[in-house]
Amino acid sequence: MSHGQMAQAALGSAELIMGKLDNVKAIGLNPDQGPEDLQKEAEEFLDQGTDKETVVAVDVLGGTPSNVVIRLFAKYPNIQVISGINLPLIIEFANQSMMGQGLNKPQLIAMAKDGIVDVNARLK
């Protein structure tokens, strides 16, 4: 979940690398929408879910998408939330899913953090 089309663009990039990701949805908050619109779309997806944990990645903690997810905890207590969407996080999530592993949330967060690199410093 993100402000604007960030989530959709990140998912599209991940699928370009990994192939189609099943049971994944990107939801973005557009300027003409409010929190209730975002929550409705998230609930529609979550209501189709399986018995597995659902991972929800949001763009930034404290923004509308993360606030909506926090409200969803009451109805969906098994959701796992991570703030800070980036491509390494999505690719690691896809790898964990494709390998049939259970959710390794610390590894997702580590991959997201490790994906941020000062390339100039590495080249020196």
Catalytic residue list:
3
Instruction: Give residues with Cβ within 8 angstroms of 31, minimum separation 6.
Output: none
Neighbours of 25 (CB within 10 A): 16
d(CA 69, CA 56): 8
24, 11 in Cβ contact below 8 A?
yes
d(CA 45, CA 72): 12
